Structure formats: C-alpha cells, structure tokens
Amino acid sequence: MNKEELQEKIPEKEKKGEWKARLEKKEQSAEVTSFLSSLWDDIRIFEDDIRGSEAHVIMLKEAGILTEEEASKILRELENALNDWKKDKLKIDESLEDIHPVVEKYVVERLGVETGGKMHTGRSRNDQVMTDVRMYIRREIIALTRQIRHLIKVQISLAENHIETVMPGYTHLQQAQITTFAHFLLSYADSLLRDIERLENLYERVNKSPLGACALAGTSFEISRQRTAELLGFEGIIENSIDATTTRDFAIETIAVLAIHQTNLSRIAEDLILWSTTEFGFLEIPDEYCSISSVMPQKKNPDSLELIRGRTSKVLGALTYILTMVKGLPSGYNRDLQETKSPLWNAIDTVKSSTKMLSGLLKDIKIDKEAALKLVKKGYTTALDLAEKIVKETGISFREAHNIVGTTIKKLVVKKALLNEEAFNDLKEAWREILGEETPINLPALKDCFDPLKSINERKSLGSPNPTMLKETIKERKKTLENIKTRNKNRETRIKESEKMLEEIIQDLLKKHKNGLFKWSKK
C-alpha cells in the first residue's frame, strides 16, 4: 500500500489531544503535529499493534486485572478495527502522534473510556512499539530467508549447466587463473548462505518479547510477561525493563545483516555488469532487465544491476543513520528512537526488492561459452598450472619454476604470442637464462597445461573449480538449502500456531457473550 492509497484513509485533521492532560495547551498546530508524527512509519505495524494489544488484554483478563466482560468487549472492538483496516474502512485521525493512539481511540470511542481506557493497563507505548517492530522484523527475516534461498537455488541450477564453462578468474581486475562460471556462481551461493546464517542467528535475538516492561521500570500490576510472549509466538522475553524499552541493538543488527547481504548482491551485480561489456563480452543480460539509450541506438544498459549496486548505498546509509542516532542517547526512551523505524523499513524494502530482481535476472542470463574460452586463451591464465607441473616433473623449487614461467610470459607478451604448445621454445630459452642449463622436461609432459578444461581437471585442492568437486559441492549445497527450508518453515509454523491460539481464545470469549453467558452493553 503506497502513501497515496493510505492518504485516502485519513480525514481532515482533528486536534483533540486525548493523552495530553499534563499540558495546559492541548491543541497543536498542524506543523508541530506533523513534525512529531510517526504515523506513516507506523502504518506497516498496524496489524502487529492489534495482535499485541489482543494478547495483552487476554493476559490482563487471565491475571484478574480485567473482567471477562471487559476483555471481551475490548477484544471485539480490536477485531473490528482489524477488519475495518483490511477493508480500507478505518478512519485514521492524523492529529494523533502514532499508530498506538489510533487503535486505542477506536476502542475508546466505541466502548467509552471506562472500559476502553483499561486496554493500556500495565504497558506503555515504549514496550508496545518494540513488540510491534520485533513481530514485524521476524516475519521479514523469514520472508528474506526464503528469497535468498530461492536466489541460491537459481545460482545452483545455473551452475549445474556450466560446470565446464571455462572463464578467466581475476585478481586486481587482471586475468589470474582459469576457472569456470559454475565456480563463480557457487562462490556467490556460499556468501549468500552466510547471509542466511546471519539472519537465522539474528532471528533468535529479535524474537524476544519486551511487552510488559512498561515505560521503563515495569508496573505494579501483577502481569505475566511470559504469557503475552507465548501468545505472540516469542521465544522468551527481554527481562530487564530498561533494556527492553531502551535497546535498539536488534534493529541495528538487522540493518547490519541486511547491509552485508546487499553488499554481496552489489558485488555480484558488478561482476555481471563487467562481463556483459563489449570488452569482456561473454555474458548477456536478459532484455527485460535492461534499458536503452534515448539517443544511442546500439545501447543496451544493465540498469537493473546498476540500481542494485547503487541502492546498496541506501542500506549502508541506513546503518550509519541508526548507529549515529543511538550512540549518544541516555538510557530510557527518548523521542529520537522514533526515527529508527524509517531506516529499518527502507533497508528491508531495498534488500528484498534487490534480491528478487537478481533472482529473476540470473534465471534467464545467457553465457557465451566460446567468447569466454577465447578470452581464456588470449590471456595467460594457465601460467600457474604450468609452473606447478614443472615442479612436479623436475623437482625444482616453486620459486625457480615461477621465475622460469614468468620470464617465458614476458617473452610472449613482447611477441604478442599466446601461452600454448608453440611457447615451449620460449620456455626452454627461459630455463637456460634462469638455471643455466637445458630443460630436462619435454613438451608432452606439459601439454595438458595448455588445455583450459584439462587444466581445471588437474586441480586437487578442496573448493577449486575441478568439475568433480563442483558436482559434489552442488549436491551438498542442495542439502543445506533443504535444511534451511525446514528451519524457516518451523519458525513460520510456530508464529502461525501462536496466532491460531490467540484467535481461538478471542473467539471463545466472543462466543461466550453471544451465548449470553455474561451481559454485553455497548456505550
């Protein structure tokens, strides 16, 4: 839902100051109200606010703080508010500072302050908003984990088709060693798997309830914070009430994890942009993810990838924003903390859209195997393979072999020649220059070093582009993705079970009224 759609929900401003008994002048100018308001940032946690309020009311009823009739009346109106919201019928008073008084006002207007005003007993907006935000973030963690998992599946599927698609690997943006496109894709997949690991660890710290901590130092009412945590699907509570309402480390950590992931996406985007250029020329980005120049007819610009790269700055900026926001604040709630939601939402939205975009783009990307092979042969990416082969065949030190091959390459560069079988004479000459003797090695022993595919098949170290190893890696990564899917599903199921439990309690109470077990009077 965009801002224009939400604007339709808001009537002309009212200036009633329901919570401002302490102030002599309860009405504010539109300018001040707008400055203080976080309504637009709070819109996305509206449903979480309703569910948190319902759990709180049920707990108050079970603790004997609210009567069954009072709780049922409040719950009925909270359900009505939720239904009105889903049907775009809820009128929001923009003069209110945030979403919490919007919900309370809805209930109070229908039940009167004598009953509706009891809903907020034993809590504060300070613990209330943190409950809402944590509920929202945990859902987003589950959703993003699912998205990243899908992106990795796309990469693995693509890798399976390119296990023997040789291409240059780069250091310092210079051709370094020969590798394969599958090897690159699996390197991306492994970095994204660590992003998921960070998200899973983050989830454990996010999914703790601050509800019931009240404003700062708890409440004199005998509430059960464990019960509201259970009803809302939290895995425990933030025990210390100051910590529960003050800390934003979970929000900072969320953005930090998102920033790392977005940076990984940016690096992938940069590689794909480079490889799609005329200078590299072995990769083509799908047309639907590109744009054209308004003046140059030949241009096909990788705009989707450039925006992934560019929007990474937004996420990194959000991290800096929130860190500098909280660095100098004293303990306890301060209004500055209201501003932590906006960078959090922006970071979440940016990362989710970028992850989805890259998944779609990679799914239909085209690789020119011949162009990649031509680039490999044009460079000297088998030089290390040649040096290692010389060591194995002759027993000389690697440094000596390094010098011989390096001298050989220098000669080839001058002649603008390739590193192939025809370069054997240059190698023999380099051997004489470095060691002062004739080479004991013959051409057939080195022949495989000049064949790119045979070269990668000779790699023995774990994690190399050896096709046999890559196939085994793919098999293991698929198992890992299945385990992630199971863990993510379990978390989602736990939340749904808590929602079901909450809903069943609510419906049971409303049913009791309907059956006339206690009187219902509406103000």
With tokens 């990564």, the residue in question is: 477
**Is the distance from CB of 337 to CB of 329 less than 8 angstroms?**
yes
Catalytic residue among 34, 53, 162, 293: 293
Q: Which residues pair with 180 in a beta bridge?
A: 166
CA proximity to 378, closest of 368, 370, 386, 366: 370
Sign of the C-alpha dihedral computed for residues 94, 98, 102 and 108 taken in this order:
negative
**Which positions ≥6 away from 87 have C-beta within 8 Å?**
none
CA 253 to the chain's CA centroid: 11
Q: Cα separations (Å) of 111 from 264, 311, 501, 522?
A: 52, 47, 25, 6
Question: What is the rounded distance in angstroms from the CA atom of residue 56 to the CA atom of residue 227?
Answer: 9
- Residue 34: active-site member: no
Half-sphere exposure of 113 (CA within 13 A, CB side): 3
- Residue 293: active-site member: yes
The DSSP secondary structure of 243-266, one letter per residue, reads HHHH--HHHHHHHHHHHHHHHHHH
CA proximity to 120, closest of 211, 8, 191, 32: 211
**Is the distance from CB of 103 to CB of 78 less than 8 angstroms?**
yes
SS (H, E, C) 74-85: HHHHHHHHHHHH
CA proximity to 132, closest of 41, 193, 25: 41
CA proximity to 14, closest of 76, 77, 74, 97: 97
Q: For the chain, state the CA radius of gyration.
A: 32
Catalytic residue among 37, 72, 120, 172: 172
**Is the distance from CB of 282 to CB of 375 less than 8 angstroms?**
yes
Residue 342, token pair as written in the block: 């906006």
Ramachandran angles phi, psi of 171, nearest 5°: -130, 140
SS3 438: coil
Question: What is the rounded distance in angstroms from the CA atom of residue 188 to the CA atom of residue 182?
Answer: 10
With tokens 């809302």, the residue in question is: 232
Q: Cα separations (Å) of 522 from 72, 78, 110, 353?
A: 11, 14, 7, 46
Half-sphere exposure of 282 (CA within 13 A, CB side): 17
Annotated active-site positions, please?
172, 293
